[in-house]
Each structure stands twice: as C-alpha cells, then as structure tokens.
Structure 1
C-alpha cells in the first residue's frame, strides 16, 4: 500500500505553545485558527464564562490575534466569518445553556448574538457566504443543517433523499456548497441550497473526511486498520467507483495518530496532536 505525505500548511507561533488548544480549524479561505485558553477545561469544575484568544495564521504567514470576551463553550467548535468575526459553539448542550450554545463575536472579540443549533455537533463549518453548516452525530436526529450567522435556519436535510443519515461522519464546505458522507450507508452527498440534493452510492466505509475535485473524490479515514486510509475514487452518474487505496501520513513520515480533520473543496486538512500544526492533502494537485 503506497503512502501519500501531507504538506505543511500553517503553524501556531511558538510564543503560544504554552497555552491549551481548545479548538482549531481552517476556514474557507485557507486561514488557520486556534482558540486558546490558559489551561485545559476541567469537566464540571470550570467557572464559565472565560476569556480566550484566537490566533489566526493567514496564507502567506501573517499572524492576527483576537481576544474573545466571555466564551461559554467548555468543549467548543470554532470558525471564522467572512467579515472577520468568529463563531464559537458548544458541541453539547445542557438545558440551562441551550439558548447560548452558539456565540457570534465581532472583529474586536465582542459577542454580538447567540442562538442554538441543537445538541451533538460533529462538524461546524462556515461557508463563503457566512452561513454556518452543522452536521450532528447520532445523539441528535437533525442530520445536517445550514444556519445564518444570526441563527435563522436556512436549509435542512429533513426530507432530503439521503439514505441512512444517522451520523454526519464527514462534512466538506467550500464556497456555498457542502459535501457529506454520513453513517450508516456512507453515500456521497452534494448539498447546494439552490439545487436538489445529489446522492451517489458509495462502498468506502467509515471515512472521516472527504475531498472533491471535478469528478474525482478522496476519502480519508476508516475503521480499525483503515484509520489512516486514503481512498481515491471517481464519480459516475449514480455511484462512487474506487480507483486506488493508500495511506496518508504526516509530511515527515509517521501516521497522524490523534488528529483533527477539516474538508474544504479539494483539500483535506489534518492536525495531529499536540495540535499546533495543520498539514494538507490537495486532490487537485
């Protein structure tokens, strides 16, 4: 089985390595962001809210710092809005926190609004129009939904012809479109707000990230020994046809181990522990 090496993309500046990484992501423009706190959260013992720092590294290496006031999410998701603000969301909700689950911050780090998108967030990704795509895991039957940055539901997978949508294993957001590969049947699904949902039958099981470029697709991850699998495939009219299978490694050779993944168009971004560096696989290259 051949190996494909990731390419270095962005690094958290060393001056911030003593902080705890609460969340990290790569936005739709390719900028990397880290949400930092002075220490790791303590289950049931933290005093909320707390102040946090977002360190952003833009393509080309420019670093930007944004201090966020009164963050309420103990186990957060993070992404950036096109206007320079940020969205921070708690992956789990408790009854008394539900209305404040998602916080929207302006470019000065001040909260401007809050709303709820529902419990059990697996993925939260902002698209190029500033809408928030949320994919849920199996403790919430909501599936996949798209929200405005003010909390208005603008698209839902309810009623869409997506077989076996119990857990949004993989979600890719680029431009205003999204691609998903949900458990249990793992179809490849194209979601565009202005078009009907398209679905391709798929035999690649358990992928945690997907990249799409024209008629080509790559799936990353899987079960057990296929955890680091990189499966290439081509789209036909109705199905995904595998063409090649290999392994995705870090740029210097080892397998990633514990990692975060983000899908953006033709790219899959991977961040391995200790979560200070993002690396990238680009299907288009």
Structure 2
C-alpha cells in the first residue's frame, strides 16, 4: 500500500488568521480563495445580510482582497467567475420545496451584487468553469442531480435525461476547462460531461462502470483516474485506476496524507482536472495532489 503526501499549495496570509473562514475553494485557473467574516455565524442569532472579505491567493503568491457587500448565506459555497466576479450560494434554500428562493448571489469584481437566482435546494458542489458556466451537484434531498447554469441564472444543461445510472447524490464533481467529471451515488460510475463538445454533440455524456465506492473527489488525466475518500476507515483512501472502453480498472490504492504525513481529519476537497486540492482544519492552507506529475 503506497502512501502519498499532499504538496503544499496556497496559504491564507497570517494577517487574516484572526477572522473566521466561512468557506474556501480553488478556482478553475488555480487561484485559492477564502471567504472571511469577523466571527463564526450562529443559527437564529445573526442578522442577514452581512459584509464579507474574499482573500485570493494566485499561483505564485500574489494576494487580492475583495469586499463583498450584503452576503445572504451563513454557510455558503464560493467560486470565482472568469471576469473577476464571484458566485456565493447557500447550500440550502429557505423553502426546500420551492425553486424561487434566490440563494445564489453574483458579485462583480468590485464586490457589488449584480444578480441573484435559485439553483434549487441541497447544493453539494458549486464549481465555475473557464467559460463562466456554474456547475451544481446536488445531494440526495434534491433529485436534480447535476446541472449547469449561466451566470445570469439560465439553466443550460441538466442530467435529468442523460442516462447516468444511479444518480441520487453527486458525491464527487470535478470541473476543468468546460468539462465536468462526476462520481455519483449509488452506482458510483465515472461520468464525463461535455455539453458543448463539437466532436460528439449527440453524445455529451460518457459513462464508465466503477467498483470504487464512496469517493468524494475525482481527478482524471488521459486514461488515468484517481478517486479520493470513501466510507469509514477509507476516508483518506487514494484509489488509482485505468480507463478501458467501458470501465475503470483499479490499479493501486493507499492513503493520502497532509504534507507532514498526518491524516487530514475534517477537510474540504476540490477536484480540478488532474488535481485534487485538500484543505484541513483550521482551513488556512491548501495542499494538492496532481495525477499528471
């Protein structure tokens, strides 16, 4: 069993360590972002909306600060748009049975809200691609599965009739370029989604059967794939596989650790192409595993 250590990738500058990390992500271009507030939210006691600060650390270490005005989600998802703006979305709607709760806010590069709309309840993943499309993967309290939206709230693609087996919960979602990869519960197939592909306009989805269960992140490079996470004692598992015509064939497995060799414990994960980014408590640093190296 081969042990793999994450490589240090990006750190929140120490000047901001006194603030609370609401959420954090790594965007499609490799920039890490932290959404910060003065203190941790308290259910039922905090007044919404509130102002927040995004600290962005580009590859190479350059830091940008963006003040967001009137954020409406206590426990949000975050990503950056190609024009420098941001998307902030609540994972739950206030009225779970309805689609008219504008839980998604779009901010321009100056931190001003420009639009808002709903993508539905139970948001597990929210990732923006290079063209500015917003990919949303839902967990099992919303049967919508995987959907792609424009930055103005237009539904552009849905998995509803895509013939993806066992799509009840989008456990893993990876968005790179304008392609999405997913590994959904219950059958855990590897799914490639290319809605705008000129090579296969009538076949935007490819599916490979897969025996690796419970991963919450996936990365792909050529004919190689890796799955991170699993159930119980396999939560730190890094499982490698090779793509054949119809299936993923497992090749190697072992734990993925922090750069210092310790287990991550509570963590955030983001899949981008060949990379899996991992952030462990206190959520001030990202490490990366790159399948292409």
Question: Do Structure 1 and Structure 2 share a fold, with TM-score over 0.5?
Answer: yes
Q: 1:189 to 1:56 in 2, by over 3 A?
A: same
Deviation, 1:45, is 1.5
Query: Given the alignment, which residue of 227, 232, 236 partners 1:228?
Result: 236
- Matching of residues 66-145 of structure 1 within 5 Å: 66-95=66-95, 98-145=100-147
State the match for 2:185 in structure 1.
183
Distance in 1 separating the partners of 2:130 and 2:73 = 24
Q: Deviations over 1:11-30 (max 9, x none)?
A: 00001001110010000000
Distance in 1 separating the partners of 2:223 and 2:206 = 13
Residue 163 (1) aligns with residue 165 (2): yes
Q: 1:146 to 1:97 in 2, by over 3 A?
A: closer
Which moves more between the two structures, 99-108 or 56-65? Answer: 99-108
Residue 251 (1) aligns with residue 259 (2): yes
Distance in 1 separating the partners of 2:235 and 2:10 = 23
CA contact (8 A) 2:99 2:118 kept: no
CA RMSD of aligned residues (A): 1.0
Deviation, 1:98, is 4.5
CA contact (8 A) 1:99 1:114 kept: no
CA contact (8 A) 2:129 2:135 kept: yes
Deviation, 1:105, is 0.2
TM-score when normalising by structure 2: 0.96
CA contact (8 A) 1:87 1:103 kept: yes
**Alignment length (residue pairs):** 285
State the match for 1:11 in structure 2.
11
Distance in 1 separating the partners of 2:120 and 2:101 = 9
**Structure 1 unmatched ranges of 5 or more:** none
State the match for 1:48 in structure 2.
48
State the match for 1:242 in structure 2.
250
Distance in 2 separating the partners of 1:101 and 1:275 = 24
Give the 3-state SS of the residue equivalent to 2:73 in structure 1.
coil
Query: Given the alignment, which residue of 217, 242, 249 partners 1:209?
Result: 217
Deviation, 1:99, is 3.1
Give the 3-state SS of the residue equivalent to 2:233 in structure 1.
helix
Which moves more between the two structures, 92-101 or 18-27? Answer: 92-101
Give the 3-state SS of the residue equivalent to 1:169 in structure 2.
strand
State the match for 1:27 in structure 2.
27
Deviation, 1:97, is 9.7
**Structure 2 unmatched ranges of 5 or more:** none
Q: Deviations over 1:36-63 (max 9, x none)?
A: 0001111121100000000000001000
Distance in 2 separating the partners of 1:222 and 1:200 = 19
Distance in 2 separating the partners of 1:218 and 1:162 = 20
Give the 3-state SS of the residue equivalent to 1:225 in structure 2.
helix
Deviation, 1:77, is 0.2
Distance in 2 separating the partners of 1:230 and 1:213 = 15
